[in-house]
Structure 1
Amino acid sequence: MNLWGIDLGGTKIECVVLDKSSLQVVQRQRVPTEASLGYQHILGQIKKLIDIVSERAGERPTAIGFATPGVSEPATGLMKNCNTTCMNGQPMLQDLEATLQIPVRLANDANCFALAETRMGVGRDYPDAAVVFGVIMGTGVGGGLVVNKQIIKGQHGIAGEWGHNVLEEGGVLCYCGRRGCVEAVISGPALEKYYENESGDAVKLNEIVEKHLAGQDECATRAVNRLLENYGKALSTLINIIDPDLIIIGGGVGNIDLIYSEGYERIKKYVFNSGIFTTPVCKPALGDSAGVFGAALLWE
């Protein structure tokens, strides 16, 4: 039987069917999430998508994995920390199994990213990497931990959530209710807002980086240095605790090449190892496919 996975995003729901032996794509399809129409509508969109893919694949799933925003609280089975807020407090695993009438496994989308990149992506270039940390740095900041090719969820289902450690005491208010979280400092929107406050101009992050590289915009240079310094500081804390064999950076901020050169030096500055840091820090290989591939791998 093939492997089935769904990536449950805020704007789109994607389904993939992978050949179990080769992990090649058999079918792939998307539908809009339409989250504004509510939780029950999302469940309906999921069922609709599976029906479409089943017809095209000539089979129906006997089990399916989901990459979800947020996580299912182990103690209650209720969803939490979802930026698609209508999912919070809902027994999604139970509801999906009732709707689809098949076994379901859920994992946070950052965990699925880390698993897919370990098994199918850049991790294949590092076959001896037993401990892999997948970083998400985009609209939000999060992460996933994979050990011996298995997701580590943790006691509360929040393993890898480095984006909500406090980086700046009394800093900008984060949606989680705390101030100065990693996400409130070095996410894409946070960096753009910092530049706007400094310069009075609202521009995209890639333009800020270009202005910095051109050497003609002091506000852009301050914004980029803020990113690199806090990236090194925040990631070094992670490294001090986990000391992974491989780090993979996903999300739009991870497309900034300076992260892998000057940013790498900032990690060395802060890591608790006398300035020595040799862990590979890589861009992902799977693009925006990692979440849905990781969901399918939950049943592999």
Structure 2
Amino acid sequence: MNIWGIDLGGTKIECVVLNDQNLGVIARQRLPTEADKGYDHILFQIKKLINRVADQLDESPDRIGFATPGVLEPATQTMKNCNTTCMNGRTMQKDLEALLKIPVRIANDANCFALAETRMGAGRKHQNAEVVFGIIMGTGVGGGLIVHQKIIKGHHGIGGEWGHNILDENGPQCYCGKRGCVETVISGPALEKAYENFTGTHLKLNEILQRHLERIDAHATTIIDHLLENYGKALSTLINVIDPDLIIIGGGVGNMDLLYTEGYERIKKYIFNNGILTTPICKPELGDSAGVFGAALLWE
């Protein structure tokens, strides 16, 4: 039987059907999430999308996986930490199973990214990697831990959430209630805001980077140095605790080549290994497909 996955994003819902033998794509469609219309409407859009794909293939799923913002709280089986806030506190897995009449598995979208990249993307070049950490550095900062090609969700369902460790206790306020989380320091919006605070001018991160590379803006250079130094600290803590065999970095900030050169050197300053670092750190290969592929793989 083919395997089905849904990536439930803030602006779009994507469905993919993969061949269960070679993981080739059989079908793929998207619909707008329209989250502003509320939780029940999101469920309606999911059902609508699945029906469209089922009609295309003349086949319905017998089980399905979902990549979601936030996570399912193990103790209460309700959603938490979702930036699509109408999902928080809802029994989403139970509601989806009642709506779709099939078994459902749910995992955080960063976990699904990490799983897909491990099995179908960058991880294929590192097949001896038993422990893989997948990072998303973009609008937010998150991560997923994969051990022996399985997601480690953790006791509270928050395994891999390195984006909410504190980097600067006097740093910006985070929506989670703490100050100076990794996400508030090295996410794309955080870096753009820091530049704006220096200069009074708002620039996109790629513009700040270009001004740094051209050596025409001292403030831009300060921001990029701030990124690299805190990236080094944040990654060293991750490596000190988990010591993964491979790290894969996705998201818009993760496209920055400096992370893999100067940023790699900054990690060596803080790692608990006499400055020696041999961990492969690479870019992803699946683009924005990783989340939906990882959702399908939840049943593999």
Q: TM range, normalised to the smaller chain?
A: over 0.9
How many positions carry a matched residue from both structures?
300
1:21 aligned residue: 21
1:175 Cα offset (Å): 1.0
Q: TM-score, normalised by structure 1?
A: 1.00
1:160 Cα offset (Å): 0.4
Identity of matched residues, %: 73
1:125 aligned residue: 125
1:170 Cα offset (Å): 1.8
Q: Which amino acid aligns with 2:22?
A: S
Q: Where do residues 1-300 of structure 1 align in structure 2 (5 Å cutoff)? A: 1-300=1-300
- Root mean square deviation of aligned Cα: 0.4
Task: Give per-residue Cα distances to partners, 1:11-54, cap 9 Å, x unaligned.
Answer: 00000000000100000000000000000000000000000000
Q: Which amino acid aligns with 2:221?
A: T
Distance 1:175 1:138 in 2: 16
Instruction: Classify the secondary structure of the residue corresponding to 1:237.
Output: helix
Distance 1:115 1:38 in 2: 29
1:216 Cα offset (Å): 1.1
1:171 Cα offset (Å): 1.1
Task: Give per-residue Cα distances to partners, 1:34-84, cap 9 Å, x unaligned.
Answer: 000000000000000000000111200000000000000000000000000
Instruction: Classify the secondary structure of the residue corresponding to 1:28.
Output: strand
Task: Give per-residue Cα distances to partners, 1:231-280, cap 9 Å, x unaligned.
Answer: 00011001000000000000000011000000000011111000000000
Distance 1:7 1:67 in 2: 5
1:199 Cα offset (Å): 1.2
Distance 1:171 1:226 in 2: 13
Task: Give per-residue Cα distances to partners, 1:75-118, cap 9 Å, x unaligned.
Answer: 00000000000000000000000000000000000000000000
Q: TM-score, normalised by structure 2?
A: 1.00
Task: Give per-residue Cα distances to partners, 1:131-162, cap 9 Å, x unaligned.
Answer: 00000100000000000000000000000000
Q: Which amino acid aligns with 2:61?
A: P
